[in-house]
Structure 1
Amino acid sequence: MFYQDRPKITLDKSTFDNFLDVFAFGLLIVTIIYTVLNYSALPDQIPMHFNYSGDITRFDDKDMIWLFPILGIATVSGIFYLNKFPHVFNYPQKITPENAKEFYSDATRMLRFINVSISLLFSIILFEIVQVSLNNAKIISQAANYIIMSIVILMTIGPLIYAFLNLKKKKT
């Protein structure tokens, strides 16, 4: 494998890194508690898909509400676990003992931000589904729709911008 010759080092997590990890999992825990507290009040059929305008395009059984917390936990836990092995990530430069700590730290920090974004995305979607299901809203709110789209866009291009700026900073 290409990464076998890379240094395997243990990174010290900063207070901010710990905060990001706790925040990502904390959002999911709050989401699960919110779901548990509202589950009995949900109708038998709940909206599970919305179009870009926020209109409901599909309904499912209310048990499907658990899909979002399960997917959120699986995704965030998977990325959290993967973060323990930064030597297997893909890097734009050769990793040496001299630059490993810097590259590994940047890569793991970027994944922590992605984890927070994923948690936030699942939390907002679930909150909106519950609110629409309980007739507190007829469609997904326009503000939530913009937030969701912004998070998706940031999750897509944010890491690329972050990596590009870090590389540019290192070359100067």
Structure 2
Amino acid sequence: MGVIFFYLFDFLNLLIVLLLWVYTIRMYKKLPEKIPTHFDFEGKPDHFGKKGFAFFLPVLSVVFYITFIVITQNPENGNFPIQLTEANHEIQFFIMILMLKWLLFLVVLMFLNIQDYMLRYSLNSQAKAKVHILLFLPFIFVSIMSAIIFSYIYK
């Protein structure tokens, strides 16, 4: 059952990465030569760059996707919060792989949200982020803490 769940996450994460690429390519021709590349806490741009910067997050998402896939293919090389034994290594690998796939999901979803906001703001300075960027941080923090707690519960 766990393997099917992992493949579902892989598919979902790949789908979001592809969506990020398709969205960026479709919007690229419409972008002005100068686009916002960084936003302050109020959602106002404080740095600008050339429109080629629009491909930074899609490229970064591919790098993250490949890195996370490689890491989850070799869980024995991971850094675990507890000592691995014959009795617990299977559940610990499951917790680690699940956490990494979930974190990748949150990160690429956050990239998609940032990209959407950046590109829409480039065309309309009145645009607002669909989801506030800082909303992702508590989810990431709680996910990491949950994985550590489950690792100790199932040691």
With the length of structure 1 as denominator, give the TM-score of the two structures. Answer: 0.82
Q: Which amino acid aligns with 1:23?
A: L
Instruction: Select the residue among 44, 56, 62 that pairs with 1:73.
Output: 62
**1:117 matched to which residue of 2?**
106
CA deviations over 1:56-97 (Å, ceiling 9, x no partner): 111110001111101111012101111111111122332122
**Identity across matched positions, percent:** 20
C-alpha contact 1:79 1:115 (8 A) present in aligned 2 = yes
Alignment match, 2:147: 162
Residue number among 7, 30, 48 corresponding to 1:18 in the alignment: 7
Q: Structure 2: which 5+ runs fail to align?
A: none
RMSD, matched Cα? 1.8
Residue 141 of structure 2 is aligned to residue 153 of structure 1: no
Letter in 2 for 1:103: Q
Q: Where does the alignment leave 5 or more consecutive residues of structure 1 unmatched?
A: 1-11
Q: Which of residues 36, 40, 61 in structure 2 aligns to 1:51? A: 40
Aligned to 1:133: 122
Corresponding residue to 1:92 among 69, 73, 81: 81
Matches of 1:95 and 1:162, distance apart in 2: 15
Aligned to 1:3: none
Structure with higher helix content: 2
Please give the secondary structure, in 1, of the residue aligned with 2:73: coil
Counterpart secondary structure, 2:58: helix
Equivalent residues, number = 155
Partner of 1:9: none
The 8 Å contact of residues 117 and 155 in structure 1, kept in 2 or not, is answered as: yes
Q: Give the C-alpha shift of residue 129 in structure 1.
A: 0.7
- What one-letter code is carried by the residue in structure 2 that aligns with 1:164? I
- Compute the displacement of 1:165 (Å): 3.8
**Residues 120, 127 of structure 2: 8 Å contact kept:** no
Structure 2 length normalisation: TM-score? 0.91
Q: CA deviation at 1:13?
A: 4.8
